[in-house]
Amino acid sequence: MLNPVLAMVLSGLFLKLWLERPAYRHVLFFSTGYLSYAITFGLQAMDWPFGYPANGLLSNLFILYAYIAIIHGIMLRRGVPTPFLALGVLGAIAFAGQFWFAVIVPDMTGRIYAVNFCYGAMMLVAAATMHTFRNKTPIERVLFAVALTIGLYSFVRTIGISLVEGHIVDRAQYVGSLTWLVLNFSAAFFALLFALTLAYMVVLDAMQDLRAESMTDLLSGLLNRRGFEEHGRKALAHADGIGVPAALLICDIDHFKSVNDRFGHACGDQVITAFGRCLSDAAGGEHVTARIGGEEFAVVLAGANLKTGRLFAEAVRNACSTLKISGLPEDCAVTASFGVAEMQAGEDLTSLMRRADAALYEAKRRGRDRVRSAETHAGKTGTDGNPPLSSVRASG
């Protein structure tokens, strides 16, 4: 009963992990797969409910689901298609072989070959699919190696034990034999090894997601101040390392307090969400974008000089004025002020933010809804070149 008990424990482990992170649907397949694996060995160890050979045939269906569910979970996590056709064909061959050597021509060695070869081939199919994963993480490489090892071992073990012990015809001869011992203990070992690798992968995923969540602003969906400082520094260091320019944009939604005061915080939250989406769409996922304060946002544009940064800011400013916010009257347009600075030689994020923030203050001082460029180390100051426009016309 080692295998069913071990598999039940592993199924419970994955169930607990899934309950902690319900978004991880693939973990639920790991849990049900190991539960099915437990049922498989439970049926093989007992005569209940149908006795031999019906229990053996039924257990084949459960182990078929176990393999498919676990492999599907791996592919679901990666978002790649599961090779259901190949797995289904191998499963059908395994069941046909099981039926043939259990009912038509009783032969235990034939059953062992049919089952182990087919399910070993399933693991090789899984390994082959995992081999195509792009940018594999270290734990995915380990999982690939384990799947490949299990698949190859299924063939080597079956042939090797058969050569050592000889042909086994009936079940009574099989139970307690060397073949029985090797198959059961190796099944337990590899089930545990595979499960621990999967569990470690799930835990690493959860840790990475928790870290990402700690750096994400829930309202806008952008990075928060902490995430911006970490990713922004990396982006500037990378740009400096490869010798390309970088610009920083800091923007502030105009008269945001009046929106909250006149139309409520729920409306204000929608303004933040919509503006964050506008900024994210403009950045296209290529730049570090964050909400660094209440209504203040920032973008690091790697590979952009001051002129490109100003063009980006103008594009966002124009898109911002077209936003439609539920709860905000149509005659109240959302506008924002922008400060742009280009990274100078040897400049860090703190200094760059200070210069961009000064440019933002100048844009607000000059009437808001405009873009201003920051002073360079040479003392030059950019001009906005924008005609004064209305900001959030909360007063109507």
Residue 13 to residue 27: CA distance in whole angstroms: 10
Token duo for residue 209:
């997601």
Q: Are 114 and 97 within 8 A, CB to CB?
A: yes
**Helix (H), strand (E) counts: the chain:** 13, 5
User: Which residue type, as a one-letter code, is found at position 390?
Assistant: S
Give catalytic status of residue 295 as yes or no.
yes
**Alpha helices by DSSP H, 215-366:** 225-242, 256-263, 265-283, 306-320, 349-365
Q: How far apart are CA 379 and CA 158, in angstroms?
A: 79
- Ranges of beta strands (E only) in the chain are 246-253, 288-291, 296-302, 336-342, 371-373
* Integer Cα distance of 391 and 250 in angstroms: 17
Instruction: Provide CB contacts within 8 A for 374, sequence distance 6+.
Output: 339, 340, 341, 342, 355, 356, 358, 359, 381, 382
CA 157, CA 178: separation in Å to the nearest integer?
12
Which residue in the list 140, 229, 295, 362 is annotated as catalytic? 295
Residue 88 has a CB neighbour count (10 Å cut-off) of 12
Positions marked catalytic? 295
